[in-house]
Structures are given as structure tokens and as C-alpha cells.
Amino acid sequence: METNNYKLKPFPGLLKLILLSIVTLGIYAIVIYSRASESINTVASPHDGKKTMHYCLLVFLIAPITLCIGALVWQHRISNRIGSELTRRGLGYEFSAKTFWLWGVLGAFIIVGPFIYTHRFLKSMNLLVDDYNAKGN
């Protein structure tokens, strides 16, 4: 199997993301989600031929224009893409758009749902990054 020369950086845990996002007034979260959009493109694009929109473009242009509907579509698509890549690599961790809609959206009614979704998102990205760094494409 081919190895890659470029190593992707791991993603932080949920607590670090929350604390640094509070301290930086949300900038840290934007940086992490931007890195996630770049990482999923690096890991999955050679296989699925898709490209996920950069998170900064979404946050600063698309979401305000679409009254945040674009953000929901982006989260749905990236969640499905991450789940597909986890399956393709045989990593055995379940994550999909269903995770986003159940935990990220409906889970907001029990307050902790979005935190559970974000934890699962970060864990999924770390699994993909670790596998990519170890095995390459």
C-alpha cells in the first residue's frame, strides 16, 4: 500500500475545542472545522471524486445568504462523506448524516445532543487521519 509524505494533524478533543472556542470567541472552532473540510478532501477525494466546500466559505458567505440552511446541508454532506470513508477503510465506527440529524439537530432539545455529535465528529476525523497517516490512501 502506498504511503504518503504529508501527515495530517490530529483533531482536538471536545473539551479542548469548547474551551479554546470560548477563549478565542469562536475562531478556534472555525479553524478546526476548516481543517476538517481540508482533511476529508485529502483523505476521501481520490476515492469518491467529491470535494467538500471549505468551512470559511460556508460560514462567511453561504450560511448568511441562505439563513443557515447551507450550514445544515454542509453538515449533512460532510457527515455522510466521513461515514462513507470510515466504511471504505473498514474502521468500524458508525457515523453518518443520521448522526448529525439525531444528535446535532434533534439532540439539541436535550441540550447535550450537539456536544455528543461534535465528539463523534472529532473522533471520526481522528480515526480517518490516523488511518491515512499510517496507510496512506
54 within a domain of the structure (yes/no): yes
> Contact at 8 Å (CB) between 110 and 127?
no
Distances in Å between the Cα of 50 and the Cα atoms of 31, 44, 61, 137 are 21, 8, 21, 15
Q: How far apart are CA 57 and CA 43, in angstroms?
A: 20
> Contact at 8 Å (CB) between 91 and 127?
yes
3 within a domain of the structure (yes/no): no
112 within a domain of the structure (yes/no): yes
- The band of 136, judged by pLDDT with boundaries at 50, 70 and 90, is confident
Q: For 56-110, write each residue's pLDDT tens digit.
A: 999 999 999 999 999 999 999 999 999 999 999 999 999 999 999 999 999 999 9
The mean pLDDT of 111-129, rounded to a whole number, is 98
pTM of the model: 0.94
Q: Which domain holds residue 106?
A: 14-135
2 within a domain of the structure (yes/no): no
Residue 137 has pLDDT above 90, yes or no: no
Per-residue pLDDT, 4: 61
The whole-angstrom distance between residue 8's C-alpha and the CA centroid of its chain comes to: 14
109 within a domain of the structure (yes/no): yes
Per-residue pLDDT, 42: 96
Q: What angle do CA 119, 37, 17 make, to 5 degrees?
A: 35
Count helices and strands in the chain by DSSP H and E runs: 7, 0
31 within a domain of the structure (yes/no): yes
Per-residue pLDDT, 2: 53
The whole-angstrom distance between residue 18's C-alpha and the CA centroid of its chain comes to: 15
130 within a domain of the structure (yes/no): yes
Q: Which of 82, 30, 20, 32 is nearest to 57 (CA)?
A: 30
106 within a domain of the structure (yes/no): yes
Q: How far apart are CA 54 and CA 52, in angstroms?
A: 6
> Contact at 8 Å (CB) between 22 and 2?
no
Total number of domains in the chain: 1
Q: For 3-49, write each residue's pLDDT tens digit.
A: 566 799 999 999 999 999 999 999 999 999 999 999 999 999 999 99
